[in-house]
Amino acid sequence: MAGGRASSAGSPCDASVRSSAWPVFVIGVVTAFSTLWFAVGLTHTIAPVVGWIPLPVCLALAAHACLGVARLGTLDAPVRLLWRNFALALGLITVGVVGDAIDLSAGRDPAHPHTGLLITLIYFCGVLVILWGLLRTPFGRRSRGQWLRLGLDAGILTLACILFVLYYLLVSGEELTAITGSWWSLLTISTLSCFVILAAVKLALTGAGPLDRGALWLLALAVLSATSIGSLVTPFLGGQPYVSSVQLAVPFGCLFLALAAERQRRAPAAPARVPRRPFSLLPYAAVAATYALLLLATRDVGGEGRLVVAGVIVLTGLVMARQIAALYDNARLLTRLDSSMLELSRREGHFRSLVQNSSDITSIIDVEGNLAYVSPSIERVLGMPPGHWIGHPVIQCVHPDDVPVMLDLSTRLRARPGATATCRIRMRHDDGSWRWLDIFATNRFDDPSVGGIVSNARDITDTLRYQDQLAYQASHDALTLLANRALFAERTSQALADGDDVAVALIDIDDFKTINDRLGHAVGDALLVVVADRLRECVEDGDTVARLGGDEFALLLRGVPEDGADRVVRRVLAALGTAVHADGHELLVQASVGLAACAADTDASELLRRADLAMYAVKERGKSGYRWYAENMDAQAVEHARMGAELQRALVRGELFPLYQPVVTLPDGDVHGVETLVRWRHPERGMISPAEFIPVAERNGMIVQIGAWVLRQACLQMVEWQRLYGTAAPMRVAVNVSARQLLEPSFAQTVADVLAETGLHPGDLLVEITETAVFDGGPALETVQALQALGVAIALDDFGTGHSSLGLLRTCPVDILKVDKLFVDGVAGTAEEAAIATSIAQIAQALRLGAVAEGVETPAQARRLYQLGYRLAQGFLFARPLPPEEVGVLLAARAAGRGTGSAEPPALAG
């Protein structure tokens, strides 16, 4: 609705256009009145002054319309000047007509009017101003033929108009002489009128630049109507003294002039310049009007004359019709040709722009192999302008290695017209470098407008460089710049396909995660770079060093027997064994290496798999070393996989069960605590040792679920013993926790949940961990600290066999040290054999930690341990791992107070 109201209201511009159209309407009404008065005046005598009154009205309104157009700021200056001249001329003529009206009102005889000298001069000036305005319009540029056609057309129109004027003068000479005062005045005004007619004809035929073409036609009609109407109506005047042809000619001329002004006002500020053919209907219209005049002039001729005149008119009309039809056909053809040429020019400009501004090089090579044309883009690509290349052989700028390629291209192209070919060559840049170009060429020797080989060359230097960079990045490790897994597999496959003796070594840096976590990723990355450099130094040319990911490297050794591969691996281990300086840290690096040699029907992935099995065999054996792949490793891998699947089912089916080994006090052998151990009763294989299934569980992650199950069983059993035996129950129940469990973010919460569920006091639970599990700190150490915060006791199991860092005792919250059986076995021997056990006891006493001796099997060991200060021990001497029921028997005896009471404590007897 708002849009409708806005539309109906109109814009100020629309209002201005409507307000300027009223003179046309008034002149039209006055012209209609004049025509009616003129028609009545031919047969009846009416007031003569009434016939002259419309003339100044029409002239004044037409002058007002022209002046309004002259004031438009959107028009060019020549156009405004032309309309200003029209307004001035009409104003002068209006003054003259008013003067005549005053003479009539002063008492002059209407039947014999007379125009004075002053009024004649005013008319003369008005006609002169119109003539000056029309003649100042520009002709524009024209060819000689166009000037000839223009002259002929102008001559036809001018002659026709003059013919009308002369006829009018001859017919109405006495009347006009009476009006103007003399034949000299009449002749002067008539001559000026002929010049005005000539100027109007010129304007109609040539145009006036930015002047609206419709307005131009209306101006021509205004001039022609003002001159021809008088001649056409004069024969009908008869002897009427008060009726003049001027009374009809002037209103019609003013009407067409006002319409022209209104058309110019409504025309756009910058009219479209339409191409115009040298063809106009105005000369033919002038001839037709002349024949109409001829019919009027010969109306009193006899029948023979009228027959001849009619025949001439008809024949001339037919000839004119035929010529007009031919001209229209020519005009259509020329218009179509103009459109085709315009489209051709547009397309030519389009393709020229494409060639001139394209980044590709477009060139034409003549029959002698010289460059006949080259596009400007060659300067951007090769550094030299097109003029440098024209007339020179293209072959002289081609890379010497690519000259045969270019010659082959030329041979293929010259084989037949229209042949096409492509090639990739290097061309010399102005700075001396070489640029890679992809060339597509076509033989156009058969085309006279071309006469050579047309080629399109695209600079692909940067593209190839980027492709090489991407290919390198896709096949190499970004940190060490070694080959990656994909490239290593590709080269291994190629070596196998070539039939070479191939050996693959898989290298894993031992405890790299510990270094990376404790010292930071920057140190870890620096270490990997040093390792990569040392591996490069250990291999020969033709071998491949790759980083497969993380801390895992691989060597592809070609053309070496197994003993040669042994030497390379030993060289690698020796190189890595030397201290490494990484980011300000001095590190000792060890590695586990698996070796596999090619065999029948092995591929790259199979070689890597076998080397991986051998490498894991080294790690299971204690790390740091190398092993060759053996066939039984496959069986072990299959067995581990099968055992892993069965282990998952065993946990669900209840095939796992706990045993408890007592920890006793020295010297009396009283039960102090128990350590929880897990066993697997397989339905088919019987009892399976933890040494078999625990490594499998750690490898496949089942250790987390098994550990949680063992923890819950131990806590439940401890609560049950406390309920049954009270103070005779063990002081603590111990569970072993692997490094994998400590890395679980939720492990501390799991322990807390189990304690809450079972109701066991946190101090009654002992968690046994290994030195290796917490040596690297990080999340594992944070988990241990969280456990201690719960109130759970921490024991460092197998102390002295792992990293054995005394600093660990300061960073890791430990309550008890458990001495490994390795150091207990020789404790009853020499002082040197007992030195480590002695030192550990002293460390525990100094740090106020508890100490438990594991693996005690003889009374002599028990006595010696007691002498060294150990007060807790466990081993087969005291008890093997027992089911809960048998432990209950021991606890029941303890509760009943069945001690031996002997002087020699039973734990030390023997």
**Rounded CA separation 722/731 (Å):** 9
Lowest mean pLDDT among 149-153, 432-436, 648-652: 149-153
Confidence of residue 227 (pLDDT cuts 50, 70, 90): low
In which region does residue 519 sit, left (phi positive, over 0), alpha (psi from -120 to 50) or beta (all else)? alpha
**DSSP-assigned letters across all residues of 405-456:** HHHHHHHHHHTSTT-EEEEEEEEE-TTS-EEEEEEEEEEETT-TTT-EEEEE
Q: Which residues contact 230 (CB under 8 A, 6 or more apart)?
A: 164, 168, 172, 245, 246, 248, 249
**Rounded CA separation 635/300 (Å):** 138
388, 390, 391, 397: CA torsion to nearest 10: 60
Q: 871 or 518: whose pLDDT is higher?
A: 871
What average pLDDT score do residues 5-9 get?
41
**Rounded CA separation 459/438 (Å):** 7
pLDDT-above-90 percentage for the chain: 30
pLDDT of residue 318: 77
Closest Cα to residue 707, out of 743, 664, 663, 653?
743
pLDDT of residue 86: 84
Please give, one letter per residue, the 3-state secondary structure of 626-668: EEECCHHHHHHHHHHHHHHHHHHHHHHHCCEEEEEEEEEECCC
Confidence of residue 14 (pLDDT cuts 50, 70, 90): very low
Q: What pLDDT digit, counting tens, does each position of 43-73 carry?
A: 666 666 677 788 888 888 888 888 888 888 7
pLDDT of residue 695: 82
**Rounded CA separation 903/897 (Å):** 17
The pTM for the full model equals 0.50
Q: What is the chain's percent helix, strand, coil content, to nearest 5?
A: 60, 15, 25
Do 55 and 246 touch, CB atoms closer than 8 A?
yes
Structure tokens at 106: 């002063």
Place of tokens 């005046």: 41
**Rounded CA separation 187/505 (Å):** 124
pLDDT of residue 274: 45
Lowest mean pLDDT among 238-242, 348-352, 646-650: 238-242
Place of tokens 């007379």: 114
Do 883 and 645 touch, CB atoms closer than 8 A?
no
Q: For residue 789, which phi and psi values (nearest 5 degrees)?
A: -65, -25
Q: What pLDDT digit, counting tens, does each position of 473-490 carry?
A: 889 999 999 999 999 999
pLDDT averaged over the chain? 81
Place of tokens 């040392």: 534
Place of tokens 């088919």: 684
Indicate the burial class of 475 (C-beta count within 10 angstroms; 0-12, 13-18, 19 or more). Answer: middle
Report for 2-6, 199-203, 445-449, 804-808: range of highest mean pLDDT: 445-449
pLDDT of residue 112: 47
pLDDT of residue 184: 47
Helical axes 117-135 vs 183-206, angle rounded to 10°:
20
Closest Cα to residue 877, out of 889, 894, 865?
865
DSSP, collapsed to helix, strand or coil, labels residue 553 as strand
Place of tokens 């710049």: 481
pLDDT of residue 484: 93
Residue 73: which H helix or E strand, with range?
A: none
Report for 328-337, 379-388, 658-667, 679-688: range of highest mean pLDDT: 658-667
Instruction: State the DSSP code for 355.
Output: H
Residues comprising the chain, all counted: 910
Q: Which residues contact 686 (CB under 8 A, 6 or more apart)?
A: none
**Rounded CA separation 375/364 (Å):** 9
**Rounded CA separation 308/303 (Å):** 9
What average pLDDT score do residues 456-485 get?
90
Q: What pLDDT digit, counting tens, does each position of 762-794 carry?
A: 999 999 998 777 766 678 888 999 999 999 999
Q: 226 or 591: whose pLDDT is higher?
A: 591
pLDDT-above-70 percentage for the chain: 79
- Name the CATH superfamily housing domain 476-629: Reverse transcriptase/Diguanylate cyclase domain (3.30.70.270)
Lowest mean pLDDT among 10-19, 160-169, 249-258, 585-594: 10-19
Give Cα 604 distance to the centre of its chain: 40
- Rg value, the chain, Cα: 60
Give Cα 111 distance to the centre of its chain: 91
Closest Cα to residue 444, out of 420, 424, 425, 409?
420
Give the start-end residues of each E strand in 296-418. 361-365, 371-374
Task: List, edge to edge, every strand of the sheet that includes 434-444.
Answer: 371-374, 361-365, 452-459, 434-444, 420-428
**Rounded CA separation 708/754 (Å):** 9
Structure tokens at 245: 């042809």
**Rounded CA separation 734/662 (Å):** 10
Structure tokens at 514: 């510990």
Q: What pLDDT digit, counting tens, does each position of 70-95 carry?
A: 888 788 777 788 888 888 888 888 88
Place of tokens 């085309």: 447
Do 815 and 850 touch, CB atoms closer than 8 A?
yes
Lowest mean pLDDT among 291-305, 440-454, 573-587: 291-305
**DSSP-assigned letters across all residues of 466-502:** HHHHHHHHHHB-TTT--B-HHHHHHHHHHHHHTT--E
**Rounded CA separation 197/218 (Å):** 14
Burial 158-177 (b: 16+ CB within 10 A, else e): bbbbbbbbebbbebbeebbb
Closest Cα to residue 59, out of 108, 102, 95, 22?
95
Give Cα 783 distance to the centre of its chain: 49
What average pLDDT score do residues 511-540 get?
88
**Rounded CA separation 196/344 (Å):** 43
Q: 123 or 385: whose pLDDT is higher?
A: 385
Closest Cα to residue 82, out of 212, 228, 205?
212
Domain ranges across the chain: 11-297, 299-350, 358-465, 476-629, 642-896
Residue 525: which H helix or E strand, with range?
A: helix 521-538
**Rounded CA separation 348/343 (Å):** 8
Confidence of residue 285 (pLDDT cuts 50, 70, 90): confident
Kindly tell me if the per-residue pLDDT of 575 is higher than 60. yes
Report for 101-110, 121-130, 681-690: range of highest mean pLDDT: 681-690
Burial 103-131 (b: 16+ CB within 10 A, else e): ebeeeeeeeebebeeebbebbbbbbbbbb
Q: What pLDDT digit, counting tens, does each position of 553-564 carry?
A: 999 999 888 888
Answer yes or no: CATH 3.30.450.20 is held by domain 358-465: yes
Closest Cα to residue 838, out of 860, 867, 863, 815?
867
Helical axes 246-266 vs 77-105, angle rounded to 10°:
150
What average pLDDT score do residues 116-140 get?
68
Q: For residue 443, which phi and psi values (nearest 5 degrees)?
A: -80, 115
Helical axes 485-497 vs 604-620, angle rounded to 10°:
120
The verdict on whether omega for the bond into residue 667 sits within 30 degrees of 0, i.e. cis, is yes
The verdict on whether omega for the bond into residue 138 sits within 30 degrees of 0, i.e. cis, is no
Q: What fold does the segment set 642-896 form as a domain?
A: TIM Barrel (3.20.20)
Confidence of residue 11 (pLDDT cuts 50, 70, 90): very low
What average pLDDT score do residues 203-216 get?
64
Q: What pLDDT digit, counting tens, does each position of 395-441 carry?
A: 888 999 999 998 998 888 888 888 999 999 999 998 989 999 999 99
Instruction: State the DSSP code for 833.
Output: T
pLDDT of residue 185: 47
pLDDT of residue 84: 87
